[in-house]
Structure 1
């Protein structure tokens, strides 16, 4: 029930915003906190929308990378910032809807201390395996895993990251036993996969497209509801009879809880305008993410649904972080 606070944070702001006499304007530069290192798709998306938002707001939106603790360090910075609309967070699946179920203790609550502004992007994942693995398709991979329970390992970008929890969702849906090997980012996992040190990873499509195209890895299935333009020949889980394993990672802009309604309304409006730009959409696609916008209340409803979904996976897979 605690995650329904997202709904209160978004819905409570709307009546006030409707009566605002003039659009809210920032009085100084804004910060956009990215809770991961620079260079990844989340960072690229944040920089694209920050530049566009800054132009529309008349103040620059400066991106700051504050990584660590599965995104919790960056999230706490925004949760503890003044509630004046000048500090934003590019939140992701793990930080906003999975970490509260995984971490035994957190110094802040995403649902209590952060307020929704709007969706930014979605990103499908893909299962990839080394060419040395005797599994040419998903059915053969599942059969191999069932024949060798606990012997096949999969890597992820970190304990509790979407690349971990999405793989656990697949493992549960397929009824197989796999060994998790967490890495500090997807780069190390990819290198070990190509070398044959691990047998599978589930990674954002853009991160694996080159290796699949070059024939260094084999793609078995994409996690999204539809085939992806970067891998049009790779089927979805639904096509392969595992619709319950469908999953998408995503990024959403949040701000500090208690931020005045007019500020949230203006930030959300500017964010949606930025995402609607054909130039930004094209650049996001180049980074392997698909632009996705929403109102604050739509995002709040989505966050509740995602929290419930990943909470079930965390409990069934018994994922915990001290």
Structure 2
């Protein structure tokens, strides 16, 4: 009997020790599980933004934050990954704004509900969009562009980095607002569109400012309008669309940081505070400027309101284009 009791005590001690080790290991694993999921390949601007944030967030939280690239299906794969993750703040998503406000109008089968499957944390960055022509084009101003387009119906082709992009529908919106006829040509990226413009294959492009500034500085491209709220520092002579009398077309690209739905408000608050501190760093700001972006920040509620407002703004524009993706 004494032997049995002694054995039971030893077994119980071993079991308790095992549970303690398992508990520590599980806690350690959770500490190591933090990651930021990006729906685009490594090496691009979004990936770089995610890695800047991950590196600084690791310093703020005291444990590693990894970047996981899950490209494909225009960020929808990455969103599915984060949507299914535990709502503990350890899995985050860097998402372009279009995934929140444009894709719901664009895809027949979206696969997620942007305002119920994800929790906004903070806006990370914004960037300007521009209308540009080749430097050897007879079109020298925005007024020239409108006049030339009206005089050449069916011949005014504008290129973008892809069909279904924000730039695509900004061109649709511009045509609708001004009464001109524009034909869209979607390329497989900004570089291809710029090459086609310089080669004379298209008449204009609607593009991220960061992608055209080097070509403007080298004298190959001329910008006619900036769709953002302020003049671009790298393009001081280019008027904003509001200055040109079309303030309702004011548009910027942006990206935000998101967590799974039902992430506790306290967790979101801590992440938001850390991200705002990161974005306020001059060093981080300089890195983002070099990418053609601007640090944003703000509250989670401001990010949600931004996306909700854009959702309503683009509904009719996408519908009028009759462009749908599967």
Q: What TM-score bracket applies, with the shorter chain setting the length?
A: 0.7 to 0.9
The match for 1:160 is: 164
Greater Cα shift, 181-190 or 113-122: 181-190
Q: Any residues of structure 2 matched to 1:173-322 within 5 Å, and which?
A: 173-322=177-326
User: 2: distance between equivalents of 1:66 and 1:158?
Assistant: 19
User: 2: distance between equivalents of 1:255 and 1:98?
Assistant: 19
Secondary structure of 1:140's aligned partner: helix
**Number of aligned positions between the proteins:** 297
The match for 1:117 is: 121
Larger Rg: 2
Q: C-alpha displacement at 1:69, in angstroms?
A: 2.2
The match for 2:85 is: 81
Q: C-alpha displacement at 1:299, in angstroms?
A: 1.3
User: 2: distance between equivalents of 1:41 and 1:310?
Assistant: 24
| Cα deviation digits, residues 135-193 of structure 1 (max 9, x gap) | 11111111111112232211222222122122222222222111111122212212212
* TM-score between both structures, scaled by the size of structure 2: 0.87
Secondary structure of 2:298's aligned partner: coil
| Cα deviation digits, residues 189-230 of structure 1 (max 9, x gap) | 122122121221111111100101111111111111111101
Q: C-alpha displacement at 1:113, in angstroms?
A: 0.8
User: 1: distance between equivalents of 2:82 and 2:189?
Assistant: 23
Greater Cα shift, 230-239 or 124-133: 124-133
> Unpaired segments of 5 or more residues in structure 2?
1-29
The match for 2:62 is: 58
What value does the CA root-mean-square deviation take over the aligned residues?
1.5
- Is residue 144 from structure 1 mapped to residue 148 from structure 2 by the alignment? yes
Q: Is the 8 A contact 1:70 1:158 kept in 2?
A: no
Secondary structure of 2:35's aligned partner: strand
Q: C-alpha displacement at 1:237, in angstroms?
A: 0.8
Secondary structure of 1:27's aligned partner: helix
Secondary structure of 1:119's aligned partner: strand
Whose relative contact order is higher, 1 or 2, with alpha carbons under 8 Å and at least 6 apart?
1
* TM-score between both structures, scaled by the size of structure 1: 0.88
Q: Is the 8 A contact 1:29 1:59 kept in 2?
A: no
The match for 2:6 is: none
| Cα deviation digits, residues 51-97 of structure 1 (max 9, x gap) | 11111011222122222222222222211222221111111121111
Distance 1:64 1:187, change over 3 A: farther
